[in-house]
Amino acid sequence: MSLPLLLAFLGLIAFGAYVQTVTGFAFGLIVMGGVGLSGAVPLPDAAVVVSLLVLVNAAQILWRNWRSAFNRELWLVLASSLPTLIASYALLEWLAADNLDLLRIALGAVILFAAVQLVLPGAALAQRSGDGSFVLAGVAGGILSGLFATSGPPLVYHMYRQPFPIQRIRETLVAIFAVNSVFRVGVVTTSGNLSSSVLWLAALALPSVAGATWFARRWPPSLSPRTMRRLVFLLLALSGLSLALPALVKLV
């Protein structure tokens, strides 16, 4: 990787960590979208780097505020997401080997779905959803975690509709992402796909994640939540379209 590409990748990592710290999600989406567009790192390798770096971001966020994350919803989601993560990781290996265009279309569609959620969130519920809904959200999140190391879209949509305090929602999401990341790295290692180059790239990006997370916690943006959502929506929508459309045209 050339120095300009490396610096751009580290900047992308820092920006994703900042947004995740402020909103509770979007790190993986931002990084995977940027990598998919630039081609700086193969998508499977980028997903491993994201999995490793999510742990740094989560440790900083949950260091002193972890108690509200360990709740019934967390265990329901994890119980259903971890098995589907394994199956979807096998699908990633197949797509990355012979169907890269389909992989780009799938990633673009996921990013667009997440972008639409930001500006068209579901109506807040008066009562907590049933346990089954958290299981289904976990299944969907596990599939996306195995494919792209980003289980956010279905989980964020479901959790933010619940009548829970915002802090509890954010910390629960971060805890889910962290456990999924540990499990995903374990699957990658077991399959023999954890290379030294990926570990070095993650190590180089670690200061960017730590610094951006600390900065976001110390100096959160002065933007209103609505404005922040619109900015992230624009970024995700553009990256999702840029990823999916060229691959779709090529296949057609």
- For residue 23, the model assigns a pLDDT of 73
For 133, phi then psi, to 5°, come to -70, -35
Q: What is the mean pLDDT of each run of 10 residues along the chain (252 residues)?
A: 84 87 77 80 86 84 74 92 90 80 84 78 82 94 87 83 85 88 91 88 91 89 75 78 80 73
| pTM across the whole model | 0.79
Q: What is the rounded (10 degree) CA torsion for 60, 214, 26, 125?
A: 70
pLDDT of residue 132: 95
pLDDT at residue 24, rounded to an integer: 66
Q: Tell me which residue of 183, 160, 181 sits closest to 170, measured CA to CA.
A: 160
Those residues whose C-beta lies under 8 Å from the C-beta of residue 237, and which sit 6 or more positions away, are 111, 112, 115, 116
pLDDT at 204: 92
pLDDT of amino acid 130: 94
Beta strands (DSSP E) in 95-159 are none
